[in-house]
């Protein structure tokens, strides 16, 4: 899991250093850079999921927070809507600027508080720290692409986010080896 986190989050931190990202893309070409980025991301994500599923269960660090467990279904649903809105021309994206990173903060923060075990703390804490670093970097770099928002994209993002959240919670145990809190 840790190797996957280093690979996945490490490759996602490259854009926070525009000079490094530009140098890599110039050296190998933009399309190959994107391909390597996607491949390393996929391998890292696979290692994270497999590592988390096979990590020893029950090594407690702190008692799970009941407020986080209660808020998890709503926070995760909002996070999924933000994930969907981040890749469309939504008013949500226009207002928040970085909905994916805000959604990742919500998702990882609520999971961090709702778990309390060692592997969950490493996993969700890593994503939480990454999202804070990337959000500050994106704000500092003014990394926002201009676009014209479209209301139908907002509707699609909301519906897709709700559906994805429902499916994820419904099959959470099968996907991740741990049932979702209800």
Note the pLDDT tens digit of each residue in 137-166: 999 988 888 899 999 999 999 999 999 999
- pLDDT value of residue 6: 96
Give the C-alpha separation, 129 to 9, whole Å. Answer: 10
* Nearest CA among 26, 2, 75, 49 for reference residue 174: 49
Give the C-alpha separation, 175 to 125, whole Å. Answer: 20
Residue-wise pLDDT for 79-103, tens only, equals 999 999 999 999 999 999 999 999 9
Q: Contact at 8 Å (CB) between 91 and 180? A: no
**SS3 at position 117:** strand
59 pLDDT above the threshold of 80: yes
pTM for this entry: 0.90
- pLDDT value of residue 182: 56
Give the C-alpha separation, 139 to 20, whole Å. Answer: 18
């Amino acid at each position: 899991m840790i190797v996957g986190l280093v690979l996945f989050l490490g490759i996602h931190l490259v854009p926070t250093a525009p000079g490094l990202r530009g140098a890599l893309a110039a050296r190998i070409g933009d399309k190959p850079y994107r391909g390597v980025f996607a491949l390393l991301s996929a391998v890292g994500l696979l290692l994270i999921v497999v590592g988390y599923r096979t990590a020893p269960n029950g090594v407690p660090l702190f008692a799970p927070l009941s407020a986080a467990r209660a808020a998890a279904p709503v926070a995760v649903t909002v996070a999924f809507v933000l994930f969907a809105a981040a890749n469309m021309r939504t008013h949500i994206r226009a207002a928040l600027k970085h909905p994916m990173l805000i959604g990742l903060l919500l998702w990882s923060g609520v999971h961090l508080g709702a778990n309390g075990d060692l592997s969950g703390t490493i996993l969700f804490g890593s994503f939480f720290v990454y999202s804070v670093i990337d959000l500050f970097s994106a704000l500092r770099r003014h990394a926002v692409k201009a676009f014209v928002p479209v209301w139908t994209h907002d509707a699609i993002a909301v519906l897709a986010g709700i559906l994805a959240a429902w499916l994820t919670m419904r099959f959470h145990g099968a996907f991740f080896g741990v049932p979702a809190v209800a």
